[in-house]
Amino acid sequence: MKATRLAVTTATTVLALLVAACGGSADEPATAAPGYPVTVTNCGVEVTFDAAPERVVLLKSAAVPYLHALGVMDRVTARAGQYPSEYYDAGTLAELDRIPLLTDKTDTSGHLQISKEVVISQEPDLVLGEVDNLSRDTLSAVDIPLLEEPAMCPDNTATPSFDDIYRQLETYGRVFGRETEAATAVDALQQRMAKIQAEASTASGRTAAVLYPTVGGGTTYAYGTASMAHPQLEAAGFRNVFGDTPERVFEVTVEELLGRNPDVLILLHSDGDPAAVEQGLTGLPGAEKLNAVRDGNVLTQLFNFTEPPTPLSIDGLERIVQRFGADS
């Protein structure tokens, strides 16, 4: 794919004005900041930064733990979407509370609805998270770069892993000029992962499935090997009963669940009452026969505790291990 080079900081505009004031031409090439330009590949597109972003707009919450770890949440000037408090510690919540919320309006499938005009009016030099009605191409047409979490890129076929978290942290470190902070954060996450896995019952032989039920009854979705749910279950010491399915997410019936009959169920949801989410599965005809339901081995947790791969996936792993560890 043809590389796309994007000017990403108001510093470039300021420099152009200064050049013009001194009798130079605003069309002369701008000088990149020390350590820049930095080019990263995102969803198959090369995006170049001439300086660290200073005006960031968040359209999804997935990048928050990365930005917090790097100490650059103060660069976020606006946000949109939903940011459940359960995801964050007190320090991160305080940072989010400072950032104006443009909208949290979503459609019936939970996808953010926001206009191009609203985002552009914020004069961002970086947008994080692609939404259905505001694509990368739309923003690049007005010289605004966008970065999406790699696992959520269209047509992504890569098998996810916890290593993806460390690589993405390093990528954000390069973009924001915080390589040292990124290396420190990666080391801390790796140490934490080692501790969690030491506590997991890796030889339990138990099986599990990660599902996304529909509240009120209806379609139930399951997660296969192209989802972060798969390495998360493996790290917790479980065998994914859908480990033979190469898809990320797909519809599943109670009959198929009964045929695979997992010992443990992890139920994901985007918002709302966890009890209603659990009822969305356990209330289905025949679900009471599932081993996990019969034995009470069901854990409901928010979606980003599993997907996409971020430090929150490690939080989710820890929750799973604590709930279903060796002594459970």
Q: How far apart are CA 238 and CA 8, in angstroms?
A: 44
> Residue 110: what pLDDT?
67
pLDDT at 208 over 90: yes
Distances in Å between the Cα of 323 and the Cα atoms of 16, 308, 317 are 57, 21, 10
CA-angle at 60, arms to 54 and 61, nearest 5°? 90
Q: For the residues 168-182, what does the mean pLDDT come to?
A: 98
With contact defined as beta carbons under 8 Å apart, do 91 and 68 qualify? yes
Q: How far apart are CA 51 and CA 34, in angstroms?
A: 8
Q: How far apart are CA 268 and CA 50, in angstroms?
A: 39
Q: For the residues 202-212, what does the mean pLDDT come to?
A: 87
Q: Which of 103, 67, 108 is nearest to 88 (CA)?
A: 67
Q: For the residues 242-263, what does the mean pLDDT come to?
A: 96
- Over residues 77-87, the pLDDT tens digits come to 999 999 999 99
Highest mean pLDDT among 15-19, 31-35, 234-238: 234-238
- Over residues 44-63, the pLDDT tens digits come to 999 999 999 999 999 999 99
- Torsions phi, psi for 163 (to 5 deg): -60, -30
Q: How far apart are CA 298 and CA 267, in angstroms?
A: 7
pLDDT at 152 over 80: yes
Q: For residues 97, 102, 107 and 112, what is the CA-based torsion angle, rounded to 10 degrees?
A: -80
pLDDT at 233 over 80: yes
> Residue 200: what pLDDT?
86
Helix H or strand E encompassing 302: strand 298-302
Structure tokens at 73: 């949440």
> Residue 109: what pLDDT?
62
DSSP string computed for 160-189? P-THHHHHHHHHHHHHTT-HHHHHHHHHHH
- Quick one: pLDDT band at residue 108, thresholds 50, 70, 90? low
Q: For the residues 116-138, what does the mean pLDDT come to?
A: 93
pLDDT at 9 over 70: no
> Residue 205: what pLDDT?
84
Which residue matches tokens 């992962």?
Answer: 193
Q: How far apart are CA 162 and CA 235, in angstroms?
A: 9
DSSP string computed for 288-301? GGSHHHHHT-EEEE
- Quick one: pLDDT band at residue 326, thresholds 50, 70, 90? low
Q: For the residues 143-157, what does the mean pLDDT come to?
A: 89
- Quick one: pLDDT band at residue 6, thresholds 50, 70, 90? very low
Q: Which of 221, 225, 259 is nearest to 240 (CA)?
A: 225
> Residue 206: what pLDDT?
93
Share of the chain above pLDDT 70, in %: 88
Which amino acid type is present at position 195? K
pLDDT, the chain, mean: 88
pLDDT at 263 over 90: yes
pLDDT at 116 over 80: yes
Least confident of 130-134, 200-204, 230-234, 305-309: 200-204
> Residue 19: what pLDDT?
36
Mutual orientation of helices 163-175 and 179-199 as an angle, nearest 10°? 160
pLDDT at 313 over 50: yes
> Residue 30: what pLDDT?
58
The residue ranking higher by pLDDT, 326 or 110, is 110
Structure tokens at 67: 């930005």
